Chains A and B, each alone.
Chain A
Amino acid sequence: MTWLALLSSASIIAIEWRSLRTASRRERTLYTLFVSAALLMAVSFDTHLLTGVHVLAPVDALFRPATEWLYQVL
């Protein structure tokens, strides 16, 4: 997945090179943030860094009890 992510990132930069040169700082920041986050995810997937870690645990902790309560009420 890392190699695929690297290849995709390189392709995206190549495709958007012209628009990136004229882009505002905010756009470039957002762009860098997304590509870096995707690369980080790919690396963590390949290295099993997040195996056993439930990334959506905060969302689950907030909403799962409420959903279970809803099922019980019904």
Chain B
Amino acid sequence: MAKVQISRVQLVFALVWCVIGTGIVAIPTAIAQFTVRDAWICALLFSVGGTLVALLTSLFTRYFPNRTLTNALMDAWGPWLGRLIGIWFMAGLYITNCTVVREAEVFVGTTILPKTPEVMIGAFAMVAVAYAVYMGVEVVMRDVEFITPLVMLIAPILFVLSMQHIDIHEMMPVLADGWTPVLRGGVVSILVYALEMVIVLQFIPFLRRGKLAAKDVSIATLIITLVLTIVTAVTIGVVGPATHYLSYPVLEAVRNVRVGRFLERLDTLYVIAVISTIFVKMTVSHYAWCTGMKDLFHLSSHRVTTLSGALLVWGGANVLFENANDVQQFIFYTGPTYAVCTLLLTPLLAVAGIVVKKAMAVKR
């Protein structure tokens, strides 16, 4: 069987949808907790986190050009300690997956299926996710390729149409309250959503041009920063101070779109686009988790944990987070430092371990 390889375009868009999938729903809300007028500046700060991940990827691929993060941990720290650190990373990835599934359940339940139990929505989503992951990384990336043109067609139309309702005064005066609320508003996007791109380290051996992974992360960062800034600016311009009280402010901005008296309720298109991108995020995250488990426990294939793992994620999503508020509180107030200790420190530990190992080998 030929070795599956992921192209650069596939990787860039997989990363973009991985962040934007839930980011477009949660980031404007997170920012609006601290500032509304300067929210667009907070969205720009995403690039700081993205640059951090690009630097980390560059460092990682220099020492481990053809290894996944979980493999690298075991190479650097040995089978026991390496596995222990790997399990910590896998637990973090599992909680992230549960968060994404719960967010998807709540979003679909609130927007289009209010009478369907959220548990059922999650179950059906996980069936699709498990099937895609079971079929392998090629199917996951083909999904990304298929969804990209659809979303790229829908999203610009919606946001251009939303622009007719923008009131630029909602964003004035700029930095009236100083940098403090802006920096606080940027914490979630920098430390939670940007750091999620570390998931790329689980895909390094599958990349056609692994050495350019850091460059691909930078391109994805640029695209995401641009999209998030435009979306946040349009939302604040249309919705105004009410953004602070809304769970889905972007949805409200899109809901305002009306062309004459015959074209309205375009929010359905927005919901379709968001669900498609969340699906990509769920498949990519679950695939990364399954390959991590395969590496850590020397399983014969990632398929061993694909179906049972999907069941576990579905169960966890509903038990760990009782409602939408639980998810939001976790992302806003626990997520930032948890992401630093899991997503940022684990790859750094792998690199540090191999550097020390090499230095000790030279001394001997």
Q: Give chain A's interface residues, CB within 8 Å of chain B.
A: 1, 4-5, 8-9, 12, 15-16, 19, 23-24, 26-27, 30-31, 34-35, 37-42, 44-45, 50-51, 55-56, 59-60, 62-64, 66-68, 70-71, 74
Contacts and interface: CB of A to CB of B under 8 A. Distances in A.
Contacts of A41: 312, 315-316, 318-319
Contact of B314 (A16, A31, A38): A38
Nearest to B119: A1
Given A31-B308, A34-B309, A74-B184, A67 B330 contact: no
Contacts of A70: 187, 336-337
Tell me which of B120, B184, B307, B308 has the highest count of chain A C-beta atoms within 10 A of its own C-beta: B308
Given A30-B297, A35-B308, 14 more contacts: A4-B119, A12-B308, A19-B304, A27-B304, A30-B308, A38-B315, A41-B315, A50-B319, A56-B334, A59-B338, A62-B338, A67-B333, A67-B338, A74-B187
Nearest to A72: B184
By secondary structure, the B interface counts as helix
By secondary structure, the A interface counts as helix
Given A44-B319, A45-B318, A66-B337, A27 B299 contact: yes
Contacts of B307: 12, 15-16
Contacts of A55: 319-320
B336 A27 contact: no
B126 to A, nearest CB: 9
Given A12-B307, A66-B337, A56 B315 contact: no
